[in-house]
Amino acid sequence: MYPSLEGKTVVITGAGTGLGKAMALRFGAEKANVVINYFKEEENPEETVEKIESSGARAIAVQGDVSKEDDVKALIRQAVDSFGSVDVMVNNAGVENEVPSEDLALEDWNRVISTNLTGMFLGCREAIGYMLDHNIKGSVINMSSVHQQIPWPHFVHYAASKGGAKLLTETLALEYAPKGIRVNAIGPGAIDTPINAEKFADPELKKGVIELIPIGYIGKPEEVAACAAWLASEEASYVTGLTLYVDGGMTKYPGFQAGKG
């Protein structure tokens, strides 16, 4: 646990499901005030709010589309209205779909880029702007992917968005380090969340993914949330511009394991 997170206000986008939800619960367990941005009503964010409140922390749920400037502004405003600050911003919302690149519709390209990259930019801009105005030495965490590094055929829009997330993170880290604002990314490998539900429901596809993971299993959302808590905490006070891969070694050339190289 990280005592420096107690009473801090943490805003998490796309927190109705998956990694965002796991991070909301983890920051709640750290006794932070948690602002859960969710996209669709059926995600039932109130259940997460109740769980956090029952553990003695505070939380609110705010609907919004991260690709819409007004929604992101409203999200930050609601965090401040409810808890008086924004200390940690987690830009987590993301989407993907599998299409051979020659068939990729402009609509799909725009949807993925505007959610994953433009949404991340808006979240960074609004949160950092608030931190600067209020002299807060805050922390921003961008949810990237191993695909900021590993090319991914049939997911060119997704890979491009995460490649963009890498340099967005590193550029903002450099720009705001003098103000004491840290900007880092997390690069998950294959984690068991709704984004992968269809793939992991097929035993053959799941086996194929596990073969790419040196540590030998699909990651759990809580394992990503633990890293987010550390990165946001004072324990990581000298860390900025990092992408922390939480990938069981996936980015370390698994094809070379056991003398295969």
Pick one of 18, 28, 45, 123: the residue that binds ligand NAI (CB under 6 A): 18
Q: Is 112 in the site for ligand NAI (CB under 6 A)?
A: no
Choose between 106 and 258: whose C-beta lies nearer to ligand NAI.
Answer: 106
Q: Which of 38, 158, 176, 245 is catalytic?
A: 158
Q: Based on CB atoms, which residue is closest to ligand NAI, 136 or 146?
A: 146
Write the binding mask 119 to 158 for ligand NAI: x where contact by CB under 6 A, - elsewhere: x-----------------------x-x-------------
The answer to whether 17 contacts ligand NAI (rule: CB under 6 A) is yes
In the complex, least distance from residue 258 CB atom to ligand NAI, rounded to whole angstroms: 24
Is residue 65 at the binding interface for ligand NAI, with CB under 6 A as the rule?
Answer: yes
Which residue, 115 or 240, is less far from ligand NAI as judged by CB? 115
The footprint of ligand NAI on residues 92-111 (CB under 6 A) is 92-95
> Distance of alpha carbon 102 from its chain centroid, rounded?
29
Sheet holding 88-91, edge to edge: 58-63, 33-38, 9-12, 88-91, 139-143, 182-188, 243-246
Q: How far apart are alpha carbons 87 and 108 in whole angstroms?
A: 33
25 binds ligand NAI (CB under 6 A): no
Which residues, 6 or more positions from 185, have their beta carbon under 8 angstroms from its beta carbon? Answer: 141, 142, 143, 144, 148, 165, 166, 169, 242, 243, 244
**3-state per-residue secondary structure call for 95-163:** CCCCCCHHHCCHHHHHHHHHHHHHHHHHHHHHHHHHHHHCCCCCEEEEECCHHHCCCCCCCHHHHHHHH
- Contact positions vs ligand NAI (CB under 6 A): 13-14, 16-20, 39-40, 43, 65-67, 92-95, 115, 119, 143, 145, 188, 190-191, 193-196
